[in-house]
């Protein structure tokens, strides 16, 4: 069954119709392939919020109404929900040729879709995967990343631990390949900023008594000295039981406890409360409770649209259809991220540079880069793959 | 004297109470600067405080929920304060230390401007994407002006012909006819325009996320120039300018640089930065003493204010304010 539809958001008519232009956007999802278990752990326990990014895109368009009116732009939003039974490429061909494509797909089809759309001349945005390989190996000139990379997240955490003086880190990680590769990235970040790894330990989900050194938090965190425990548990199955059960009374960071995030509901400064309130209230037919805020994926989608609408002035003249590539490749493109520092695109790997929040469930404890971590060129480029260490060198 | 706990709002019950004011024994004045009284709004502690030229807090009045923008009232004893979370405006009398009058139902009142000749009070409504114009004497709503999201800075020209409103989210300054309230023009600014200041035929707009002040011609609305900030040891993107204040007799403009914790002194005619002065955290509100010898800087994140001697261009002292000091008006 074809599950696509076209949604037209008609902005108020331009005061200067001669300049009228369209901004075409498309969101590509695969909701029917992954409805059941996104963000869920064993027994259906929801351990993190993973929502479709559509609401955040609509919020960005809602916020840009005055700007669209001023620039004579009409946004058009197309939604493509990939049907597993039909060939992927056929469905991707339905995307308007000038559209900026927000890719909200699981990793298994993400690379295939991004590669096809690159060859097809589209500009795409990764709003979901912090994976390093998409930046360093796939390295497509047409693919932008507005979700922070894993290195940005872990560099923020590494800076925070050093800033706090918690240098000795016990790393506890899960058994999956994803856990292991993310652990490597974490260790690289920690070592980059001068932390000492007390030990690397793997947990198991087995409750068998023979496995007690790996399944009991008290044993898992015993027999070594450390200032803090860093937990990598991509599926959130075990890590959440480590807090308050460590052998020593030490804080827990990483995938649980103090966590590096792109956005948070409790950020008090930089206009963030207004943005959070708008996110809850702008859709009058579907008002969200005051405890809800954008997930990192939604914030990434919102950032991508706002990067376009905040940077319309960099394009000399707008007529017909606005080419998003013209803005995204422009060195002056910038976005107000409500995080204290403006965001912009790293020219070498198309990553959106941005501050990272270090937050618990209740509060944003710090905003990285932390004080005294300085960069010769750009304030936030101490976070993530900097130009010299990036294997992707696009521009 | 007002105690630290009172400044934090712990002892206040948020009602207007007659506060005893102890006599301030200022045996030696710090400089030759002449006396002044300044009124500060404290956004988080819900109070206004009175300070003197020595930086002493002489009086504290609990005023309302989230007092932010403030402007001088029609009388020399009055200030008008935007109470954001109480959705109202209050006319506060600094002599009697009581509220003279209130205008209610002003959604998300953020910043205020007064056109003295016509007694029109202009307010930005942060949550509403609009600005409102009130008759100050009757409290009646005269006009509602649609703006972009998160309107903050608002000004009206002395002759009352133009009203300018900066919308933070939209990156636009809306221009309205001061008599008919029709939208005349829209000025595109850099990221997050915050405050607007008028200087003869120029409009200075601070762009908080664009790290600059942009200067526009009032009549043509064309951009005439800009001042980009970069103190030593900082990256440009760390500059988050907010308040702009002119001292025309000295040919100087002062710009509070927010998270960069500095105030910049700008040569008005050359549009060049002549000095950066280190102050407290997130410097945003600015006030100038009547003798133009002292610049007062409100530091929103360190909950204090800094007095700067404008002769030596050095900070004289920094004293505790309430929680999140926001705006200041200075009187003789």
Give chain A's domains with CATH numbers.
Answer: 4-148+263-354 (3.40.50.2300), 154-260 (3.40.50.2300)
Beta strands in A82-167 (DSSP E): 100-104, 123-126, 143-145
Distance from CA of A343 to the nearest CA of B (A): 9
pLDDT at A6: 42
Contacts across the A-B interface (CB distance below 8 Å): 59
Grade residue A16 by pLDDT with cuts at 50, 70 and 90: very low
Grade residue B7 by pLDDT with cuts at 50, 70 and 90: confident
3-state secondary structure of B249: helix
What average pLDDT does the segment A144-154 reach? Answer: 98
Distance separating alpha carbons of residues A50 and A35, to the nearest angstrom: 10
Confidence check: pLDDT of B255 > 70: yes
Distance (Å) of CA B116 to CA B95, B136, B162, B204, B330: 20, 10, 14, 21, 17
Distance from CA of B1 to the nearest CA of A (A): 31
CB contact under 8 A, A278 and B149: yes
Grade residue A14 by pLDDT with cuts at 50, 70 and 90: very low
Residue of B nearest to A369 (CA): B238
Interface test with A, best of B68, B129, B149, B242 (most A CBs within 10 A): B149
Q: Is B303 on the interface with A (CB under 8 A)?
A: no
Q: Give Rg (Cα) of chain A.
A: 22
3-state secondary structure of B35: coil
Contacts of A312 (CB under 8 A, 6+ apart): A67, A71, A73, A318, A322, A327
Run of H or E including A109: helix A107-119
pLDDT at A36: 60
Strands B272-278 and B141-146: unpaired
Buried b (16+ CB within 10 A) or exposed e, A313-348: bebeebeebbbbbbbbbeeebbbbbbbbbbbbbbeb
* Tens-digit pLDDT profile for residues A39-97: 777 777 888 777 889 999 999 999 999 999 999 999 999 999 999 899 999 999 999 99
CB contact under 8 A, B209 and A334: yes
Mean pLDDT across chain B:
92
Grade residue A35 by pLDDT with cuts at 50, 70 and 90: low
Residues in chain A with CB shorter than 8 Å from the CB of B209 are 334, 336, 341-342
Q: Is B68 on the interface with A (CB under 8 A)?
A: no
Tell me which of A379-388, B28-37, B143-152 is least confident.
Answer: B28-37
pLDDT at B34: 86
Residue of B nearest to A313 (CA): B188
CB count in 10 Å sphere of residue B278: 13
| A67, A271, A377: residue with CB nearest B171 | A67
CB B162 within 8 A of CB B218: yes
The percent of residues above 90 in pLDDT, for chain B, comes to 86
* Tens-digit pLDDT profile for residues B60-96: 999 999 999 999 999 999 999 999 999 999 999 999 9
Mean pLDDT across chain A:
91
CB B330 within 8 A of CB B71: no
Q: Which of residues 246-285 of B touch A (CB under 8 A)?
A: 259
Residue of A nearest to B186 (CA): A70
Residue of A nearest to B194 (CA): A271
Pick the more confident residue, B9 or B62.
Answer: B62
| A66, A310, A378: residue with CB nearest B167 | A66
Q: Is B209 on the interface with A (CB under 8 A)?
A: yes
Whether residue A369 has a cis bond before it, omega within 30° of 0 = yes
What average pLDDT does the segment A248-268 reach? Answer: 97
Tokens 């040569």: give the residue.
B267
What average pLDDT does the segment B319-331 reach? Answer: 97
Grade residue B246 by pLDDT with cuts at 50, 70 and 90: very high
Distance separating alpha carbons of residues B255 and B245, to the nearest angstrom: 7
Run of H or E including B152: strand B151-156
Distance separating alpha carbons of residues A390 and A55, to the nearest angstrom: 33
pLDDT at A17: 44
What average pLDDT does the segment B227-236 reach? Answer: 85
Distance (Å) of CA A137 to CA A134, A154, A350, A394: 6, 19, 13, 12
Residues in chain A with CB shorter than 8 Å from the CB of B172 are 66-67, 70
Q: Is B238 on the interface with A (CB under 8 A)?
A: yes
What average pLDDT does the segment B24-40 reach? Answer: 68
pLDDT at A19: 60
Distance separating alpha carbons of residues B171 and B165, to the nearest angstrom: 11
Q: Which of residues 162-181 of B touch A (CB under 8 A)?
A: 167-172
Residue of B nearest to A269 (CA): B301
Distance (Å) of CA A282 to CA A63, A373, B107, B166: 9, 38, 16, 21
Tokens 């990067």: give the residue.
A307
Q: Is B235 on the interface with A (CB under 8 A)?
A: yes
Q: Give Rg (Cα) of chain B.
A: 19
Residue A374 CB burial class (10 angstroms; 0-12, 13-18, ≥19):
exposed
In the numeric block, which tokens belong to residue B322? Answer: 């309430």
Grade residue B10 by pLDDT with cuts at 50, 70 and 90: low
Distance separating alpha carbons of residues A110 and A128, to the nearest angstrom: 10
Strands B212-217 and B223-228: antiparallel
CB contact under 8 A, B191 and A335: yes
């Amino acid at each position: 069954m074809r599950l696509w539809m076209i949604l037209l958001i008609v902005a108020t008519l331009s005061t200067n119709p001669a300049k009228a232009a369209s901004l075409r956007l498309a969101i590509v999802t695969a909701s029917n392939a992954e409805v059941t278990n996104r963000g869920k752990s064993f027994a259906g326990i929801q351990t993190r919020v993973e929502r479709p990014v559509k609401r955040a895109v609509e919020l960005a368009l809602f916020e840009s109404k005055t700007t669209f009116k001023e620039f004579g732009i009409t946004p058009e939003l197309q939604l493509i929900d990939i049907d597993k039974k039909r060939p992927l490429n056929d469905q991707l061909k339905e995307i308007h040729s000038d559209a900026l494509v927000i890719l909200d797909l699981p990793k298994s089809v993400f690379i295939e879709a991004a590669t096809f759309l690159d060859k097809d001349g589209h500009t795409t945005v990764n709003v979901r995967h912090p994976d390093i390989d998409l930046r360093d190996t796939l390295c497509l000139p047409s693919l932008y990343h507005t979700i922070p990379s894993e290195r940005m997240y872990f560099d923020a955490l590494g800076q925070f631990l050093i800033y706090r003086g918690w240098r000795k880190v016990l790393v506890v990680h899960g058994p999956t390949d994803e856990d292991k590769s993310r652990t490597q990235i974490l260790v690289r970040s920690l070592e980059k900023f001068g932390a000492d790894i007390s030990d690397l330990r793997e947990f198991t989900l087995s409750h068998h008594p023979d496995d007690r050194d790996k399944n009991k938090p008290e044993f898992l965190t015993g027999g070594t000295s450390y200032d803090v425990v860093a937990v990598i548990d991509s599926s959130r199955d075990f890590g959440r039981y480590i807090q308050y059960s460590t052998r020593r009374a030490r804080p827990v960071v990483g995938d649980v406890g103090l966590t590096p995030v792109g956005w948070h509901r409790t950020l008090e400064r930089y206009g963030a409360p207004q943005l959070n309130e708008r996110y809850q209230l702008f859709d009058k037919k579907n008002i969200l409770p005051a405890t809800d805020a954008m997930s990192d994926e939604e914030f990434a989608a919102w950032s991508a649209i706002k990067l376009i609408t905040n940077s319309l002035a960099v394009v000399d003249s707008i007529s017909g259809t606005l080419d998003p590539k013209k803005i995204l490749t422009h060195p002056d493109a910038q976005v107000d991220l409500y995080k204290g520092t403006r965001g912009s695109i790293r020219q070498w790997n198309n990553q959106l540079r941005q501050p990272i929040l270090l937050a618990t469930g209740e509060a944003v404890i710090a905003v990285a880069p932390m004080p005294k971590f300085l960069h010769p060129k750009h304030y936030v480029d101490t976070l993530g793959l900097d130009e010299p260490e990036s294997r992707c060198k696009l521009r | 004297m007002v105690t630290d706990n009172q400044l934090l709002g712990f002892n206040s019950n948020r009602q207007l109470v007659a506060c005893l004011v102890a006599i301030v024994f200022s045996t030696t004045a710090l400089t030759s600067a002449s006396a002044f009284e300044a009124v500060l709004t404290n956004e988080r502690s819900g109070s206004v405080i009175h300070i003197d030229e020595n930086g002493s807090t002489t009086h504290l009045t609990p005023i309302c929920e989230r007092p932010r923008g403030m402007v001088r009232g029609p009388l020399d004893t009055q200030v008008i304060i935007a109470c954001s979370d109480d959705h109202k405006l209050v006319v506060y009398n600094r002599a009697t230390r009581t509220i003279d009058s209130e205008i209610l139902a002003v959604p998300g009142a953020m910043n205020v401007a007064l056109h003295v000749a016509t007694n029109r009070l202009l307010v930005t409504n942060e949550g509403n994407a609009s600005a409102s114009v009130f008759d100050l004497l009757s409290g009646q709503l005269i006009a509602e002006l649609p703006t972009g999201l998160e309107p903050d800075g608002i000004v009206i020209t002395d002759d009352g012909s133009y009203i300018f409103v900066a919308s933070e989210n939209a990156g636009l300054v809306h221009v309205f006819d001061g008599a008919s309230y029709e939208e005349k023009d829209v000025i595109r600014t850099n990221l997050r325009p915050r405050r607007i200041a008028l200087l003869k035929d120029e409009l200075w707009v601070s762009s908080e996320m664009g790290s600059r002040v942009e200067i526009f011609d009032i009549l043509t609305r064309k951009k005439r120039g800009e001042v980009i900030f970069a103190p030593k040891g900082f990256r440009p993107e760390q500059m988050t300018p907010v308040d702009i204040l002119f001292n025309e007799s000295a040919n100087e403009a002062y710009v509070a640089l927010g998270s960069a914790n500095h105030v910049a002194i700008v040569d008005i005619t050359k549009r060049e930065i002549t000095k950066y002065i280190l102050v407290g955290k997130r410097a945003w509100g600015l006030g100038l003493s009547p003798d133009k010898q002292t610049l007062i800087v409100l530091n929103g994140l360190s909950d204090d204010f800094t007095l700067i001697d404008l002769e030596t261009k050095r900070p004289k002292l920094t004293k505790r304010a309430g929680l999140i000091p926001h705006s200041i008006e200075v009187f003789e």
